[in-house]
Amino acid sequence: MQWNNKTPIFMQLKEMVVALIIDGQIGEGEAVPSVRQVSSDYQINPLTVSKAYQELVDSKILEKRRGLGMFVNKGAKDKLLESEKKEFLQNEWPLIMQKIQRLGLSLKQLEKATATSGDNV
């Protein structure tokens, strides 16, 4: 994992867990990797991992089960999808639209670029 210097590591880790849940790699009711495991795997401070997990607990995405670990709550994927879509449409999409307009790109050009990039996936 390459950490971005512009964003705190705990936020990047939180976003990584969110992506894993949205992508279905960690399902509802399943345990997330332990703080110790993540800390060891990514060579980061356990407090950093705990902070990321705690934010997900606070937003009701994860739940702590004493002695068992952290688990993905039921409905977490739908809740995350809703909030991620809202975030994208409010904050990212307007910037993308401005750039599209500034560059004078047409819908046809965007469709062609999308079809071409799909071949590389």
Entry pTM: 0.81
Cα distance between residue 71 and residue 74, in whole Å: 9
* Alpha helices, DSSP H, located in the chain: 9-22, 35-42, 46-58, 76-87, 93-103, 107-119
pLDDT of residue 116: 83
Residue 63, classed as helix, strand or coil, is strand
Distances in Å between the alpha carbon of 103 and those of 37, 64, 90, 108, 109?
46, 48, 21, 14, 11
Query: For the chain, which domains are there?
Result: 9-75 (1.10.10.10), 77-119 (no CATH)
- Residue-wise pLDDT tens digits, 66-113: 999 999 999 999 999 999 999 999 999 999 999 999 999 998 999 999
Residue 119 — pLDDT band, cuts 50, 70, 90? low
